[in-house]
C-alpha cells in the first residue's frame, strides 16, 4: 500500500539496514530514486568507536561528497578485475524475498553488495541462499560483487568458501570488507548510484552525486 508516485514526487532521504533492504530496493525499482543502506538512525553515534560512521553519513548526505568510498577495515580481493554499473543490494535474505516480484530490480550489468546476519543466517543457510541466487542467474548477470561483514575471524574462511563455491565460475570481480553489515559500523551505501569497482586495487568509487 506504499504510494510510490508520492515518494517519487517528494524525494526524501530514505535509509535503513537488514530487513529494510526490502523497501529500499522496492523504492528504487518503482521510482528510480537513490535509497541508502546504513545503520538504523537510533544506533548511529551511540557506539564510542563509530564516529567514522556518523562522519561518513554527514559527508555523503549533508556535504554531498562523492568519489572513492573511504575504507575503515582491511579490504580483501576475492577475485580480481574491475567493473562499472549501478549499485544494488543489501541483506541477502531480504533480496531473495523480492525475487520474481514487481519490486525486484533487474540485476543485469549491476554491481551487487551483500551482507548476512549470522544470528539468523547460519553458514548452511547462507549456502542455500547463494545457491538460490545462482539458480536465478543473478551471478551470471552482475558485473561486480561487494561483500560485507559476517562474523568473527574464525568464520571467515568458511564464509569465503561459501561465496567462492558459486562465483568462481563467473570470474566476478569481488571485494570483501567489514565496513557494512550487522553488529558494526556501516559506510553509507547508495542503492541506485553509478559506481566503479576495482577488486584488484581494492576500491569502490561513486561516479556521480547521490544527493542534490
Distances (CA, A) of 35 to 75, 87, 135, 182, 208: 24, 11, 27, 18, 14
Does a structural domain hold residue 212? no
Query: 32: domain CATH number?
Result: 3.50.30.60
pLDDT at 49 over 70: no
The angle subtended at Cα 56 by Cα 51 and Cα 57, nearest 5°, is: 100
pLDDT of residue 46: 63
Is the residue at 141 inside a domain?
A: yes
Query: Cα(50)–Cα(47) distance, rounded to whole angstroms?
Result: 5
The verdict on residue 173 lying in a domain is yes
Count the neighbouring beta carbons within 10 Å of the beta carbon of residue 22. Answer: 19
Instruction: With a cut of 90, say whether residue 48 has pLDDT above it.
Output: no
Report yes or no on 211 lying in a domain: no
Q: Is residue 149 part of a domain?
A: yes
pLDDT digits (tens, 9 = 90+) for 161-201: 999 999 999 999 999 999 999 878 899 999 999 999 999 99
Separation between Cα atoms, residue 177 and residue 181, nearest integer Å:
10
Domain that holds residue 129: 4-206
Residue 11's pLDDT is 92
User: pLDDT, tens digit, for every residue of 52-110?
Assistant: 888 888 999 999 999 999 999 999 999 999 999 999 999 999 999 999 999 999 999 99
Report whether pLDDT(146) > 70.
yes
pLDDT over threshold 90, residue 119: no
Residues 163 and 77: their CA atoms lie apart, in Å, by 13
Determine what percent of the chain is predicted with pLDDT higher than 70.
Answer: 95
pTM of the shown model? 0.94
- For residue 176, the model assigns a pLDDT of 97
Q: What's the mean per-residue pLDDT of the chain? A: 92
**Counting runs of H as helices and runs of E as strands, what totals does the chain give?**
7, 11
- Number of structural domains (the chain) is 1
Percent of the chain with pLDDT over 90: 82
**Per-residue pLDDT tens digits for 189-198:** 999 999 999 9
CA dist 101 and 23 (Å) reads 13
Amino acid at each position: 500500500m506504499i504510494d510510490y508516485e508520492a515518494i517519487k514526487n517528494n524525494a526524501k532521504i530514505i535509509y535503513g539496514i537488514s530487513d529494510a533492504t526490502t523497501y529500499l530496493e522496492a523504492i528504487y525499482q518503482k521510482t528510480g530514486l537513490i535509497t541508502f543502506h546504513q545503520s538504523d538512525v537510533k544506533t548511529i553515534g551511540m557506539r564510542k568507536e563509530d564516529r567514522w560512521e556518523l562522519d561518513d553519513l554527514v559527508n555523503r548526505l549533508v556535504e554531498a561528497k562523492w568519489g572513492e568510498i573511504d575504507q575503515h577495515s582491511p579490504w580483501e580481493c576475492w577475485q580480481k578485475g574491475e567493473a562499472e554499473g549501478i549499485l544494488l543490494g543489501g541483506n541477502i535474505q531480504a533480496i531473495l524475498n523480492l525475487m520474481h516480484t514487481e519490486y525486484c530490480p533487474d540485476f543485469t550489468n549491476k554491481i551487487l553488495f551483500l551482507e548476512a546476519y549470522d544470528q539468523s543466517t547460519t553458514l548452511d543457510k547462507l549456502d542455500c541462499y547463494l545457491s538460490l541466487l545462482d539458480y536465478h542467474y543473478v551471478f551470471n548477470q552482475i558485473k561486480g560483487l561487494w561483500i560485507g561483514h559476517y562474523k568473527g575471524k574464525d568464520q571467515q574462511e568458511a564464509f569465503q568458501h561459501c561465496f567462492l563455491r558459486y562465483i568462481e565460475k563467473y570470474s566476478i570481480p569481488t571485494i570483501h570488507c567489514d565496513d557494512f553489515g550487522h553488529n558494526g559500523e556501516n559506510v553509507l551505501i547508495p542503492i541506485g548510484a553509478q559506481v566503479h569497482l576495482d577488486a584488484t586495487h581494492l576500491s569502490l568509487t561513486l561516479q556521480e552525486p547521490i544527493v542534490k
